[in-house]
Each structure stands twice: as C-alpha cells, then as structure tokens.
Amino acid sequence: MITVRDVRKTFPARNGNAATLALQDVNLAIGTDEFVSIVGPSGCGKTTLLRMIAGLALPDAGVLEIDGLPVTGPGPDRAVVFQQFALLPWATVADNIAFGLELRGMARAERLAAADGLIHAMGLRGFERHYPRQLSGGMQQRVGLARALAVNPAILLMDEPFASVDAQTRRTLQDDLLKLAERSRKTIVFVTHDIDEAVRLADRVMLMSPRPGRIVESLTVPLPRPRPDDLDLAPEAIRLKAYLWQQLRGMQQAPPPASLP
C-alpha cells in the first residue's frame, strides 16, 4: 500500500532560474498488487513523483508512506525501471541483471544463478555475455526489467520504460509486462505520457495536472484480466482513452495562470 498525502516538492533556484514548484497537494493511494498508470502532460512532475516513491528524492512537505512507514530512501521492497535503461556499459547482460543482488552482497556464482532464470524468462538466452551496447533498445530494456525483477521487489516502479524504443518493440514489451503482471503479485506504478499504453496495462489510470502537478482524477480501467488481444477495439477502452485525451487537451489549452500585479 502506497500512500501519498498533501505532498509538495520544490526545486530550488539554480543558475539564475527561479525556484520551481513541481508538485503540490499530491494525494493518492495505491493498493497492494495494484497496477497503476500515471499519465499527464510533459513536465507535470510524474517522474518526480515516481522518484520520491523510489526514495531518490524526499518531499518538502506532506506524507509519503509505504505500508504505513514513511519513505526515507530507497529500499529492498522497491525496484525501478528507467526510461534510459541505465545499464552499466562495462558489465555483461548477466552481470547487469545481477547488479541489485551484487549490491546486497550476494556471492557472484549465486547471483548469476539467480539471474539465469530471468535471462531465460526475458528471452535473453544467448546474450548473457553481451555488453549493453551490443543490444537493441528493446533488449536493453528487457535487461533493465530483469534487473528490477531479480531483487524480487514487492513494488515495481517504471518511469516511461518503453518511451525510448520503437513502436513495434514497445508493443511486445507491453505484452510481456502484462503477462508478468498477471502472473506475479506485484504493485506496479507505471509513469507514461502514452494514454494507449496507460489504458492497455493498468488497473487504474491516474491523471496529473500540469505543473505544479497533482492527481486530478483516478479512473478504473473497465477491462477484464487477462487483457484480451483485441483490447484496442473494446468500446470501454476507446471511451476511456477518448475521455483521457479530452482531459489532457483541455489542460494544454488552459490559459496560463494570471501573474500577480
């Protein structure tokens, strides 16, 4: 259970730029084993919110708790999948997947054995000894996902994980993630700017406002699990996506906040 109450985050003034209020009055609750997508216009602070849940940044005000305990930093209950993959270029695929286990002090033979199952599950067999630069973007993100799964987190935090790969690969990765989410019990928070993706994957879609970002709406996706193949044609999906588009467009056209005299 992830609880966020009245959270505010400001980025201090820097290099002559004024301080920015990134998030204000953010409230949300994400249940255990729930799959939630967070969508919003670019620059609304979705990534900042995810980084705070990951413990990589702390809120300036408000409450951020996981299972009733305040988040004070990264923890073994959470793992992050990054938009730019963030693989170690000098480590092989197997060593990258085992990196989280390495940080926890697991012996090399043991952690590589643990990584082996994920290499198979992620379709990376035969690439164990490759370096990241030798892989396509899609395969690099499979490594990123495998690395997150290797530490067996209760909460998987995904920051626009499929935004840097081509459309076809994105689709395959989404299908893999769906299978994974339906098979294993995990809480997944998935940040994206892609409405199709958000609806396809999540149990619930949370919509964020432009900066200062806050959650303006939370919509349950009225689609069965496992998600059908022709999901994009389901009238409920089409209706929900159309609604979300409309909301997002409305935000972009909203007049800029009046400046003080």
Partner 1 sequence: MTGRPRTAGPGLLLQDARAGWLSLPVGVAVWEIAGRVSGFAFLPPFSAAAAAVWRMTWSGELPLNMAASLTALAIGYASAVGVGIPLGVVMGRFRRVDAVLDVYVTILLATPKLLFVPVLFGMFGTSRLTQVIFIFLSAAVIITVNARSGVRGVDAGCVEMARAFGATERQVLTRVLLPGALPLVMAGLRMGMGRGVRAMVMGDMLIAVVGMGALLRKYGGRFDAASVFGLLLVIVGVALACTWMIRSMERRMTRWTEGA
Interface mask toward partner 1 for 47-66; x: CB under 8 A: -------xxx----------
Q: At what angle do helices 137-150 and 108-121 cross, to 10 degrees?
A: 130
89 C-beta neighbours (distance < 10 Å), count: 8
If the CB atoms of residues 45 and 210 are measured against partner 1, the closer one turns out to be 45
Interface mask toward partner 1 for 75-104; x: CB under 8 A: xx-xxx-x-x-xxxxxx-------xx-xxx
If the CB atoms of residues 26 and 139 are measured against partner 1, the closer one turns out to be 139
Count Cβ atoms within 10 A of the Cβ of residue 166 and give its class: 0-12 exposed, 13-18 middle, 19 or more buried: exposed
In the region spanning residues 154 to 213, those forming contacts with partner 1, defined by CB under 8 A, are none
- Asked if residue 82 lies in contact with residue 159, where contact means CB atoms within 8 angstroms, the answer is yes
If the CB atoms of residues 66 and 231 are measured against partner 1, the closer one turns out to be 66
Estimate to the nearest angstrom the gap between the alpha carbon of 148 and the chain centroid. 11
- Asked if residue 88 lies in contact with residue 133, where contact means CB atoms within 8 angstroms, the answer is no
If the CB atoms of residues 63 and 103 are measured against partner 1, the closer one turns out to be 103
Q: Quote the least distance from Cβ 221 to partner 1, whole Å.
A: 27
The C-alpha atoms of residue 163 and residue 83 are separated, in whole angstroms, by: 7
Q: Which residues bind partner 1 (CB under 8 A)?
A: 54-56, 74-76, 78-80, 82, 84, 86-91, 99-100, 102-104, 130-131, 133-136, 139, 147, 151
